[in-house]
Chain A
Amino acid sequence: MSSNLATESTVAGAIGQSPKRIEDDRFIRGKGNYVDDVQLPGMLFMAIYRSPFAHATINSIDCSRALAMPGVLACITGKDLEAHKLAWMPTLAGDTQAVLATDKVRFQGQEVVAIIAKSQAQAVDAIEGIDVDYDPLPVVVDPKRALEADAPVIRSDLEGKTDNHIFTWESGDADATDRAFRDADIVISLDTLYPRIHPAPMETCGCVSDYNKATGKMTVHLTSQAPHAHRTLFALVAGLPEHKIRIISPDVGGGFGNKVPIYPGYVVATAASLLIGKPVKWIESRSENLISTGFARDYHMSGELAATKDGKMLGLRANVLADHGAFNAQAAPTKWPAGFFNIATGSYDLPAAYCKVEGVYTNKAPGGVAYRCSFRVTEAAYLIERLVDNLAHKTGIDAAELRKLNFIQPEQFPYRSPMGWEYDSGDYDKAMDIALELVEYKALRKEQAEKRERGEVMGIGFSSFTEIVGAGMSKICDIAGLAMIDSAELRIHPTGKGVLKLGVQSQGQGHETTFAQIVASELGIPSTDIVVEHGDTDHTPYGLGTYASRSTPTGGAATAIVARKLREKGRQIAAHMLECAPDDLEFDSGTFSVKGSPDRTKTIQECIFKAYQPELPEGMENGFEDVTYYDAPEMTYPFGTYICVVDVDKGTGEVKVRKFVAVDDCGTRINPMIVDGQIHGGLTQGFGTAMMELISFDEDGNCFGSNFMDYLIPTAVESPHWTLGECTTPSPHHPIGAKGIGESPTVGSPQAFVNAVVDALTPFGITNIDMPLSSHKVWKALRDAGVSDD
C-alpha cells in the first residue's frame, strides 16, 4: 500500500472514525422510500393465487368468479404468458422456473394466477374467486427419497428428465484424502442437516412496473440487491431493449440474499404493465415471502475428519445432499453449483480434503440463496467447526488448544488450501487469544468442572471460522456471463462537494456513510460533503450488486481507486498552481504541500475549483470526475473466533446463552460503529438459525413456517448480550485493506451455539443435535441419554 495509507487521514469522517449513519436521519423520521411507498397515477394492483398442493396436475383454471368481483380487471394464467413466451424464465443457476404454472404445480405456494385489480384489497379478495381443478400427484419431500429410482419425477417439463438429480459437483483430491484417512488414528464422523431457513427481511419482495407506451420505456421500482444485473436479466428474459429498461431500487428493507433472484411476481407485474400500459404494483405478503421466495441452506451433510491421536488434523471428507426445491434457483456465481462449499477446510492447515455435493429437486419452494453469507460458506464453516469440536471431545484435547495446533500460521499466507483457494491473509492465533482473554476461559472451564460435580449442565463452544467473500475475480466468477466486477463514479462540483455513484446497492448496510468515508480519506474532503447514490440504473455505473459481503471488497475498492485518480488530477493542478513538479508534493488529509516548504500549500478544494476554471495544465480537461470498474484480483478472507457459553435446564431442555464473545478480523474497519452494528445483527441472525428458525414440511409438502408465529426469529428480548473484540489484519491486495464484514457473524456463529450445547451434553455421551436447538430437541437428547430433571 502507498504511504498515503487512507487510515491515516485526519479529515472529518475519514476511515477509522465512526460518524453516525447519514441514512438514519430519514429512516428514523419515517421518511424512507420503499417500493410499497411508490404511488403512481392510475396505478393498478396485482395479487397472486398460489397452489395449495405441493405436487398436482392442473386440469383447468376457471377465473370467471374472480373476474366478476368488484374492481377486477384481468386474471393472467400461465397459458396467457405462454403466448408471449413468458410462462417460463431462466434462473441464475441455469435452470428454468415456471412464472405461472401451466402443466402442473411443483410446490405449495407456487404462482398459478395473477389478478389485476383497481385496489390491492380488491385484488386480494379475488383470490377466493379462482377455481383450479387439480389432480394431486405423489409428493417428494425428502431429498434422499428424491434420488430413489421409483421417485416421482418433479421436472417432467425438462426433456428426457427421468430422475430428480440436478448436479454432482466435486472438489479436492479424493485419493490423497483416502490416503490421509488410512493413516489416521482417529476419524470423527458427523451426519448433520443444516436446515432450511429463510432470510425473512423486514420488507417483503415486490415491484411497481411502469410501462410508458409513448416512450417505450419500462421503469421497474424493484426490491433488488442487484439492480444493474436485474436490468440485464430483464432484457434477456422479457426481450425488452436494455436501454429502455430502468430499474430503480429505492430504500431496501433488508435483503440478506432474499432479493438477489428474480421472482415470478416481478415478471408477471412487468408483463401486465406492458400489456395494459398502466403502472402495476405487486407487494407480497409475509406468508408469500416465507413460503415462496428464496430459502437458504437445506444441506444434508456427512463430514469426516481424520486426525492423529495427538490432534493433528490430516484430512477432511464431505458428502452433501443439497435440497434445491422444485426449480434450481440457487443464487451463486454461475459456474459454482455448490457455491464456495470447498472452503470447508476453514482455518486449518489440512493436508488433504475432498468434497462432493449432489443437488436434487424436491416438491418445495425453490431457492438456495446465500442468506447473509458468501455462497454456501455458512454450511461449510458449520461442518468443519462442528467436526473440530467433536474431535476435541474425542481426543480430550482442549477445544482451543486443538484449534491452535492446526491453525494456518501467519507466515503461510498467501496460503493455498487443499481444495484450491488462495487465502490472502490471516492471524488466527491472535483472534483466538483475544477471545480467550475476553471470555475468561480458564475461569469458565473451572466453573464448568465444579458445576458438573453438582449435576448442573454448562457448556462452552467455539467457532474459529474463515470466510471467503468479495466475489470477485471475473476469471472464475460470473453471473449469467456477466463478470462480477463493480464500480464507482465520483464527481466533485466546483465548490468541493460532490456525489459518489455506486453499482452496489445498500439494503441497510450503511453505504451512504461508509463509502463517503473512503472518499474522505482518499481525497481529503469531509465525508459529509459527499452524497452517495445507488439503486437507479439510469444514473449509476454498472455493477453486480450487494451480497456475499462484496460491496466493500469490490465497490469499496472502486471508490478508493476513483478517488485516487482524482487525487492525482488534484496533484497535477496543485503543482501547476504552486509551480513545482507533481512529485515534489506531499498529500495529507486534503492538503498538498511542497516537500521542504510546508507553507506552500493548496487544499484539494482549491484544486477542485481550479478544475472548473481556465488555464489548467497543458492538455488537461476541465471538470473533476472519473469512473472506475474494479475486478478483484483475489477474494478476501475475513476470519474470527467466537466463544459461546450456555447453561442448559435439565427439566425443560431450555438453553440459556449466558455469554458470547465475538472477535472479528475484517481487515481495515472503515466505520467501527457500523462494523459493530453489522456484527450485532449477524450474530442475532446466527442465534436465530441455531436456536429457532426452521422451514419444515409435512409428508404432503405442506409448509410449516408461513408466518412469524411459526417461523421464529429472535427479538431483542431473547437475544444474548454480545461482547465484541477485534483484531486487524489488512487484506494485502485490497486498496484500503478491507475484507468485508456483513456476513462473518452469520457464517461464524451458529456452530458456536451448537458446539456449546454439545459441550454441555458431552458427559452424557451426546455428540450432536441438529439445528434449531429447540428445547424439545435438547430435552429429548437428555431423556434418551437417561438424564432426569433433578
Chain B
Amino acid sequence: MIPSSFEYVAPTSVEEAVKALVAGDGDAKVISGGQSLLPMMKLRLASPGTLVDINGIAGLDTLEEADGMLRIGALVRHGDLERSALIAERYPIILDAAQHIADPLIRNRGTFCGSVAHGDPAGDWATVAATLDAQLHAVGPKGAVTHSARDFQTSMFETQLGTDQILVEARIPCPKPGQGSAYLKIERKVGDYAAAAVGVMVVLAGDTITEASIGLTNVGPLTIHASAAAASLIGKSIGDAAALEEAGRLAMEASDPASDLRGPADYKKDLVRVLTKRALRKAGARAQGQEA
C-alpha cells in the first residue's frame, strides 16, 4: 500500500498548473481531493510521474449562484455541498447525493469536479451533473473549453478532458419554478459506491410533468442519462402510478450493469426500476412543496 515514487508540484495559478501538465507530457496528473487518485496509486493501479496539486490555487472554491447558474469551483468539497445552506434550500438532489458519497472524512477532501473528472461510472456527482445538465468548464494550453456533462465520459475512467486540461468549474442551471429533484442510492454500507443509484429532476405544472431528467449511477460502463425514460414522463401526471412504473421500466432498460460483489445484474436492474419510481415520487413531492 505504498505508491511508486513520483514528482510533486504545487502551482499557485491555473496557468502554471497547465504548464506543469504540458511539461508532464501525458504522465502528469492533477490532484485535487486525492480521494480517488491516491487509493489507485497505493494499489499501484496508477503510477503518474508527476502530481500537479491544485489545492494552493486561489479562487477555485466558488460556490454561488450567478447569472442563472450555480457555480461549483474545482476545490469545492463534497462536505462543502453537504453543509451549504444554498444547496439545502435549492438543490435537494445535490444534498441527497452529498450525504451518501463515501464517508464524512472523504467528503472533507474529495471535490465535485475531481469526481466528475475521474470518469468513473460509480461516481455520484457525474450522475447529478448529467441529470441537472451541467456545463463543465476546463482550461488547457489552448485556453478555455466547455463540455456537456451528458456526454463527458467517453469510457471507463476516460473523459473528454485532455491530459493537459484542468476542470475549473461546473455550472448548473438554477432551478425553475415547479422543479423538484432527488437522488436515491443503495449502498452496502457507508463509504461504499452505489450498487445502483438514480438521480431525478422534474418540473411540474400543477400535477403535470413538463420537464424530466433521469441519471443512473454504476449500472453500466458509463454514467447513464436515461433520456427515453425521462421523455416518457412528459405530459403525464406525477400521481400516475402506471407512468412512473413505465419510466422505471425504461430506465431499467437503459441500464447495463455487471454482476459483482454488490449483487447480480438482475438485482441492479430491478433496483433501477424501484429507485426510479421512488425518486420520481420524492422529486414530485418536493416540487409541490410537500416534502423537504
What residues of chain A lie closer than 8 Å to B43, measured between beta carbons? Answer: 287, 707
B264 at the interface (CB under 8 A from A): yes
* B2 engages A776 (CB within 8 Å): no
What residues of chain A lie closer than 8 Å to B103, measured between beta carbons? Answer: 715, 717
* A651 engages B274 (CB within 8 Å): yes
What residues of chain B lie closer than 8 Å to A696, measured between beta carbons? Answer: 261
Q: In chain A between 704 and 725, which residues have their CB closer than 8 angstroms to a CB of chain B?
A: 704, 707, 709-710, 712, 714-715, 717-718
Measured CB to CB, the closest approach of chain B to A434, in angstroms, equals: 31
* B188 engages A774 (CB within 8 Å): yes
Closest to A704 in B: B261
What residues of chain B lie closer than 8 Å to A779, measured between beta carbons? Answer: 263, 267, 270
B264-283 near A? 1/0 per residue, CB < 8 Å: 10010011001100100000
Closest to A780 in B: B267
B290 at the interface (CB under 8 A from A): no
* A712 engages B188 (CB within 8 Å): yes
B4 at the interface (CB under 8 A from A): yes
A43 at the interface (CB under 8 A from B): no
* A124 engages B264 (CB within 8 Å): no
What residues of chain B lie closer than 8 Å to A654, measured between beta carbons? Answer: 186
B191 at the interface (CB under 8 A from A): yes
What residues of chain B lie closer than 8 Å to A718, measured between beta carbons? Answer: 189-190
Closest to B268 in A: A776
Closest to B274 in A: A651
Measured CB to CB, the closest approach of chain A to B259, in angstroms, equals: 10
* B188 engages A715 (CB within 8 Å): no
Assembled-state Cα–Cα distance A652/B190 (Å): 17
Closest to A124 in B: B2
* A285 engages B1 (CB within 8 Å): yes
What residues of chain B lie closer than 8 Å to A783, measured between beta carbons? Answer: 270
Known: A121-B2, A287-B1, A775-B263. A692 touches B271 (CB 8 A): no
Measured CB to CB, the closest approach of chain A to B285, in angstroms, equals: 17
Residue pairs across A and B with CB atoms within 8 Å: the count is 61
A286 at the interface (CB under 8 A from B): yes
Q: Which of A285, A653, A692 has the most CB of B within 10 A?
A: A653
B212 at the interface (CB under 8 A from A): no
Known: A692-B188, A712-B188. A789 touches B274 (CB 8 A): yes
Measured CB to CB, the closest approach of chain A to B258, in angstroms, equals: 13
What residues of chain B lie closer than 8 Å to A710, measured between beta carbons? Answer: 261
Measured CB to CB, the closest approach of chain B to A242, in angstroms, equals: 35
What residues of chain B lie closer than 8 Å to A121, measured between beta carbons? Answer: 2, 5
Measured CB to CB, the closest approach of chain A to B164, in angstroms, equals: 28
A17 at the interface (CB under 8 A from B): no
What residues of chain B lie closer than 8 Å to A285, measured between beta carbons? Answer: 1
B76 at the interface (CB under 8 A from A): no
What residues of chain A lie closer than 8 Å to B261, measured between beta carbons? Answer: 696, 704, 710
* B189 engages A652 (CB within 8 Å): no
A319 at the interface (CB under 8 A from B): no
Assembled-state Cα–Cα distance A287/B275 (Å): 34
B262 at the interface (CB under 8 A from A): yes
A120 at the interface (CB under 8 A from B): yes
B119-149 near A? 1/0 per residue, CB < 8 Å: 0000000000000000000000000000000
A103 at the interface (CB under 8 A from B): no
B52 at the interface (CB under 8 A from A): no
What residues of chain A lie closer than 8 Å to B271, measured between beta carbons? Answer: 652
* B2 engages A120 (CB within 8 Å): yes
Other-chain contact of A652, B191, B192, B274 (Cβ < 8 Å): B274
A771-790 near B? 1/0 per residue, CB < 8 Å: 00011100110010000010
A163 at the interface (CB under 8 A from B): no
Assembled-state Cα–Cα distance A124/B1 (Å): 8
A23 at the interface (CB under 8 A from B): no
A770 at the interface (CB under 8 A from B): no
* A715 engages B191 (CB within 8 Å): yes
Other-chain contact of A775, B186, B191, B275 (Cβ < 8 Å): B186
* A715 engages B278 (CB within 8 Å): no
What residues of chain B lie closer than 8 Å to A776, measured between beta carbons? Answer: 195, 262-264, 267
Closest to A70 in B: B5
A125 at the interface (CB under 8 A from B): yes
What residues of chain B lie closer than 8 Å to A652, measured between beta carbons? Answer: 186, 271, 274-275
Measured CB to CB, the closest approach of chain B to A419, in angstroms, equals: 37
Closest to B264 in A: A776
* B270 engages A692 (CB within 8 Å): no
Closest to A694 in B: B261
A713-747 near B? 1/0 per residue, CB < 8 Å: 01101100000000000000000000000000000
Measured CB to CB, the closest approach of chain A to B41, in angstroms, equals: 13
Closest to A284 in B: B1
Measured CB to CB, the closest approach of chain A to B18, in angstroms, equals: 30
Q: In chain B between 34 and 71, which residues have their CB closer than 8 angstroms to a CB of chain A?
A: 43
Assembled-state Cα–Cα distance A344/B275 (Å): 43
Q: Which of A124, A652, A653, A654 has the most CB of B within 10 A?
A: A652
Assembled-state Cα–Cα distance A718/B278 (Å): 22
What residues of chain A lie closer than 8 Å to B188, measured between beta carbons? Answer: 692, 712, 774-775
Q: In chain A between 107 and 133, which residues have their CB closer than 8 angstroms to a CB of chain B?
A: 120-121, 124-125
* B263 engages A774 (CB within 8 Å): yes
What residues of chain B lie closer than 8 Å to A780, measured between beta carbons? Answer: 264, 267
Assembled-state Cα–Cα distance A651/B267 (Å): 10
Assembled-state Cα–Cα distance A121/B189 (Å): 32
Assembled-state Cα–Cα distance A198/B228 (Å): 45
Measured CB to CB, the closest approach of chain B to A291, in angstroms, equals: 13
Measured CB to CB, the closest approach of chain B to A457, in angstroms, equals: 15
Assembled-state Cα–Cα distance A120/B267 (Å): 43
Closest to A709 in B: B192
Measured CB to CB, the closest approach of chain B to A152, in angstroms, equals: 27
Known: A121-B5, A286-B1, A287-B1. A692 touches B189 (CB 8 A): yes
A639-674 near B? 1/0 per residue, CB < 8 Å: 000000000000111100000000000000000000
What residues of chain B lie closer than 8 Å to A775, measured between beta carbons? Answer: 186, 188, 195, 263, 267
* B189 engages A717 (CB within 8 Å): yes
What residues of chain A lie closer than 8 Å to B193, measured between beta carbons? Answer: 709
Q: In chain A between 264 and 318, which residues have their CB closer than 8 angstroms to a CB of chain B?
A: 285-287
Assembled-state Cα–Cα distance A124/B2 (Å): 7
Measured CB to CB, the closest approach of chain A to B75, in angstroms, equals: 25
What residues of chain A lie closer than 8 Å to B191, measured between beta carbons? Answer: 709, 715
Q: In chain B between 146 and 200, which residues have their CB closer than 8 angstroms to a CB of chain A?
A: 186, 188-193, 195
What residues of chain A lie closer than 8 Å to B190, measured between beta carbons? Answer: 715, 717-718
Assembled-state Cα–Cα distance A710/B43 (Å): 13
Measured CB to CB, the closest approach of chain A to B279, in angstroms, equals: 12
What residues of chain A lie closer than 8 Å to B275, measured between beta carbons? Answer: 652
Measured CB to CB, the closest approach of chain B to A711, in angstroms, equals: 9
* A125 engages B4 (CB within 8 Å): yes
Measured CB to CB, the closest approach of chain A to B216, in angstroms, equals: 15
Assembled-state Cα–Cα distance A704/B259 (Å): 13
Measured CB to CB, the closest approach of chain B to A311, in angstroms, equals: 37
Closest to B278 in A: A651
Assembled-state Cα–Cα distance A652/B188 (Å): 11
Closest to A708 in B: B191
Q: In chain B between 93 and 112, which residues have their CB closer than 8 angstroms to a CB of chain A?
A: 103
Q: Which of B43, B195, B261 has the most CB of A within 10 A?
A: B261
Assembled-state Cα–Cα distance A692/B195 (Å): 14
Assembled-state Cα–Cα distance A783/B273 (Å): 14
B1-17 near A? 1/0 per residue, CB < 8 Å: 11011000000000000
Measured CB to CB, the closest approach of chain B to A637, in angstroms, equals: 34
What residues of chain B lie closer than 8 Å to A789, measured between beta carbons? Answer: 270, 274
B binding-site residues for A, Cβ under 8 Å? 1-2, 4-5, 43, 103, 186, 188-193, 195, 261-264, 267, 270-271, 274-275, 278
Q: Can you list 24 A-B contacts with CB-CB less than 8 angstroms, sorted by A residue number?
A: A120-B2, A121-B2, A121-B5, A125-B5, A285-B1, A287-B1, A651-B278, A652-B271, A692-B189, A704-B261, A707-B43, A709-B191, A710-B261, A715-B190, A717-B190, A718-B189, A718-B190, A775-B267, A776-B262, A776-B263, A776-B264, A779-B263, A779-B270, A789-B270
Known: A652-B271, A776-B195, A789-B274. 4 other contacts (CB 8 A): A651-B278, A712-B189, A717-B189, A776-B264
